[in-house]
Chain A
Amino acid sequence: MSKKEWESSVLAKALAKRAERKPEFKTSSGTTIERLYTPEELENFDYEEKLGYPGEYPFTRGIQPTMYRGRFWTMRQYAGFATAEESNKRYKYLLEQGQTGLSVAFDLPTQIGYDSDDSMAAGEVGKVGVAIDSLADIETLFDGIPLDKVSTSMTINATAAILLAFYIVAAEKQGVSPDKLRGTIQNDILKEYAARGTYIFPPAPSMRLITNIFEYCSKEIPGWNTISISGYHIREAGSTAAQEIAFTLANGIAYVEAAIKAGLDVDDFAGRLSFFFNAHNDLFEEVAKFRAARRLWARIMKERFGAKKERSMMLRFHTQTAGSTLTAQQPDNNIIRVTIQTLAAVLGGTQSLHTNSRDEALALPTEDSVRIALRTQQIVAYESGVADTIDPLAGSYYIESLTDSLEKQALEYIAKIDEMGGAVKAIEQGYMQREIADSAYNYQMQVESGEKIVVGMNSFKIDNEKPPQLMRIDPEVGIRQSEKLRKLRETRNNAAAEACLAALEKAAGSENENLMPYILDCAREYCTIGEMCDVLRRAFGEYRPMEVI
């Protein structure tokens, strides 16, 4: 029997008796979901061309030959709050609980280049991450944590070069040389303009800082991931799954082009590019998204940029579960959402994973909540069995159809962005921002009309919920950080610090200089983030966005 025959006989009879739940089923990206997928949807499916084998081009099935049979993904919980002292304690706790890598969250003043005692920082110090003003804070943050033994991911963008310099010097002081360091800086400024908002400088000098880092790291810290090209925040801002991969890879293309234009050889830096995606609730669409992204990036690197090394074509990625899916109502329900999202990430072949905590729609997570989130990953890894064979959903008529359709949708967006002159131009014109805002608004309207059910929020509600215990940040953190800064400015060699800042300013003015060595000199003399960024703000100016609503 063919699908058509089944539809006109068995199915027609059933539909005559009772209609389906909805007239049409759709994915987040607007793709119509068929009732049933059969071999007919995969006619002419070429296994070798579309999937291949794990560890081989186009890497659809995964980037390593053994995937999680070799070792599990890195369980890496994003953490940081208040001061370096308090965050250092949380990192040690997480490592004791079996976490296998560190991930540092910085507060907003650190991310946007203001010292804790700057008036712009008022009220924000230590709130969404740890407050870092100088090398002294980084020394405290990693006190007692051997930097040659852990890999550290730092969510830092506009000030990435400065935080990387602090990390390198802190490691030197522990007796660890740069070539032993492993980790990642996010360093993805384009998505800051498009979705996340912690930019400082305009695109051109920002792209220069990024290529300076690529160049410096390719020589000095070969084990460092120099960028984590992020779709996570694009999705959090409201994009669909197709837009998430399209805009992320379009940004990736812009970075590769910038580095090639700066004179680097694609195979010298492309192997250190890494990615960062969101894991949402729509399990199958998410798994397909990760697979489509791998295949797309491999083709882009090989065909568009002529990469020769296999490593340059591999899309390696970190995943975080979707903060925007968490509800403030009945927060324990979020544990179940995070479990589904964890499955999506693992079935999609992630290299590392952060699982959100149940209370994050309300505040930073408590220690108990973080432990449950980590245990969720451990249960999926050790008990569910999903990690025991590679890419287990491959060959599913549905998954392969979805993978193809997401790839096609993403390619259409990328072609449109190419026509605009690339990602930087598309962002300057507000194109990505508008697309994301439209998707966010559509989603909200679907929730408000009840077309989309969010359990506990727009249905299955309970009255008089008991508010959970939340984590509070001590409001005195700002005062303590300011006091530390005052002491630092009294005790450091101020003449040397000023000389380093002057040298940095001069170098910033000449386009062909790599700024990393100058920033490292400033770091060693305990120049602060605010001081370095003031110098760079003078040299580069500040970005003024086009606002889109």
Chain B
Amino acid sequence: MEKKIRILMAKPGLDGHDRGVKVVSRALRDAGFEVIYTGLRQSPEQIVTAAIEEDVDAIGLSLLSGAHNHLFPRVIELLKENNAEDIMVFGGGVIPEEDIPGLLEKGVAAIFTPGTPTSAIVQFLNERFG
């Protein structure tokens, strides 16, 4: 049997909105991915440690508080510092269009904004890891 792709779904920062991350987690699981959800209020350090320990292929960051420009790049930096930049990072939440190019430039693979169907995220991951 082929090894399942492992995804860490994480809530960085202090934001408590977890409807989106839970829906996406469940949809990814239903689509055949192995999903680990960190729960709320994870520092970038905790997320990167968990990602390395769990040997995941990708990290999905969900944030609705507006702190994405600080927290998403920090996760990427820490992955690099730990020689784990092979772990792909994608994100979603309330993220203004104009912030997306900056985040992509810093190494986030994709940003999914409100209204995105979960099938689009599944398709993206299948293409990346297919």
Question: Would you list the 10 A-B pairs with minimal beta carbon distance, nearest first?
Answer: A197-B16, A123-B70, A123-B67, A108-B14, A127-B66, A328-B114, A547-B39, A549-B25, A457-B115, A448-B117
Taken together as a complex, chains A and B put the C-alpha atoms of A91 and B96 apart, in Å, by 25
A448 CB contact (under 8 Å) in B26, B39, B118 = B118
A440 CB contact (under 8 Å) in B23, B43, B65 = B23
Using a CB–CB distance below 8 Å, which chain A residues touch chain B? 108-109, 111-112, 114, 119-124, 127-128, 192, 196-198, 236-238, 324, 327-329, 361-364, 437, 440-441, 444, 447-448, 454, 457-458, 467, 470, 473, 475, 545, 547-549
A473 CB contact (under 8 Å) in B13, B25, B38, B66 = B66
Interface string of B12-29 (1 = CB under 8 A from A): 011111110011011101
Taken together as a complex, chains A and B put the C-alpha atoms of A448 and B70 apart, in Å, by 31
Q: Assuming A444-B27, A549-B29, what are 10 further A-B pairs, CB within 8 angstroms?
A: A108-B15, A112-B14, A122-B70, A123-B13, A197-B40, A324-B19, A328-B114, A362-B114, A437-B26, A549-B22
User: Is B22's CB under 8 angstroms from A437's CB?
Assistant: yes
User: Is A128's CB under 8 angstroms from B23's CB?
Assistant: no
Taken together as a complex, chains A and B put the C-alpha atoms of A198 and B25 apart, in Å, by 21
User: Is A444's CB under 8 angstroms from B118's CB?
Assistant: yes
Measured between beta carbons, the chain A residues less than 8 angstroms from B33 are none
User: Is A196's CB under 8 angstroms from B69's CB?
Assistant: no
- Distance in Å: Cβ of B53 to nearest Cβ of chain A: 16
Taken together as a complex, chains A and B put the C-alpha atoms of A440 and B26 apart, in Å, by 11
User: Is A549's CB under 8 angstroms from B26's CB?
Assistant: yes
Residues 87-107 of B contacting A (Cβ, < 8 Å): 94, 96-98
CB contact under 8 A between A549 and B37, given known A123-B70, A124-B13, A127-B67: yes
- Distance in Å: Cβ of A441 to nearest Cβ of chain B: 5
B96 CB contact (under 8 Å) in A109, A121, A327, A363 = A363
User: Is B22's CB under 8 angstroms from A362's CB?
Assistant: no
CB contact under 8 A between A363 and B66, given known A109-B14, A440-B19, A545-B39: yes
Residues 41-88 of B contacting A (Cβ, < 8 Å): 41, 43, 65-67, 69-71
The count of residues in chain B whose C-beta lies closer than 8 Å to any C-beta of chain A is 36
Taken together as a complex, chains A and B put the C-alpha atoms of A121 and B65 apart, in Å, by 12
CB contact under 8 A between A120 and B19, given known A363-B96, A444-B118, A448-B118: no
User: Is B67's CB under 8 angstroms from A124's CB?
Assistant: yes
Measured between beta carbons, the chain A residues less than 8 angstroms from B35 are 549
Q: Is B119 an interface residue (CB 8 A)?
A: yes
User: Is B65's CB under 8 angstroms from A328's CB?
Assistant: no
Measured between beta carbons, the chain A residues less than 8 angstroms from B25 are 549
CB contact under 8 A between A362 and B96, given known A197-B40, A448-B118: yes
Measured between beta carbons, the chain B residues less than 8 angstroms from A448 are 117-119
Taken together as a complex, chains A and B put the C-alpha atoms of A437 and B26 apart, in Å, by 10
A-B contact pairs, 18 of them (CB 8 A): A122-B70, A124-B13, A197-B18, A197-B40, A236-B19, A238-B19, A328-B113, A328-B114, A329-B115, A441-B22, A457-B115, A467-B98, A470-B98, A475-B69, A545-B39, A549-B22, A549-B29, A549-B37
Using a CB–CB distance below 8 Å, which chain B residues touch chain A? 13-19, 22-23, 25-27, 29, 35, 37-41, 43, 65-67, 69-71, 94, 96-98, 113-115, 117-119
Measured between beta carbons, the chain B residues less than 8 angstroms from A197 are 15-18, 40-41
Taken together as a complex, chains A and B put the C-alpha atoms of A362 and B115 apart, in Å, by 11
Measured between beta carbons, the chain B residues less than 8 angstroms from A119 are 43
User: Is B40's CB under 8 angstroms from A120's CB?
Assistant: no
- Distance in Å: Cβ of A415 to nearest Cβ of chain B: 26
User: Is B23's CB under 8 angstroms from A327's CB?
Assistant: no
Measured between beta carbons, the chain A residues less than 8 angstroms from B39 are 545, 547
- Distance in Å: Cβ of B63 to nearest Cβ of chain A: 9
Taken together as a complex, chains A and B put the C-alpha atoms of A293 and B37 apart, in Å, by 35
- Distance in Å: Cβ of B106 to nearest Cβ of chain A: 14
User: Is B69's CB under 8 angstroms from A123's CB?
Assistant: yes
User: Is A124's CB under 8 angstroms from B43's CB?
Assistant: no
Measured between beta carbons, the chain A residues less than 8 angstroms from B97 are 467
Taken together as a complex, chains A and B put the C-alpha atoms of A328 and B56 apart, in Å, by 31
User: Is A361's CB under 8 angstroms from B67's CB?
Assistant: no
Taken together as a complex, chains A and B put the C-alpha atoms of A256 and B2 apart, in Å, by 55
Taken together as a complex, chains A and B put the C-alpha atoms of A237 and B40 apart, in Å, by 14
Taken together as a complex, chains A and B put the C-alpha atoms of A121 and B23 apart, in Å, by 26
Taken together as a complex, chains A and B put the C-alpha atoms of A148 and B25 apart, in Å, by 48
Measured between beta carbons, the chain B residues less than 8 angstroms from A238 are 19, 23
Taken together as a complex, chains A and B put the C-alpha atoms of A333 and B109 apart, in Å, by 31
B94 CB contact (under 8 Å) in A124, A363, A444, A457 = A363
User: Is B70's CB under 8 angstroms from A361's CB?
Assistant: no
CB contact under 8 A between A444 and B17, given known A361-B94, A363-B96: no
Taken together as a complex, chains A and B put the C-alpha atoms of A545 and B66 apart, in Å, by 24
- Distance in Å: Cβ of B61 to nearest Cβ of chain A: 12
Using CB atoms, name the residue of chain A closest to B26: A441
- Distance in Å: Cβ of A270 to nearest Cβ of chain B: 28
User: Is A545's CB under 8 angstroms from B69's CB?
Assistant: no
Measured between beta carbons, the chain B residues less than 8 angstroms from A198 are 14, 16
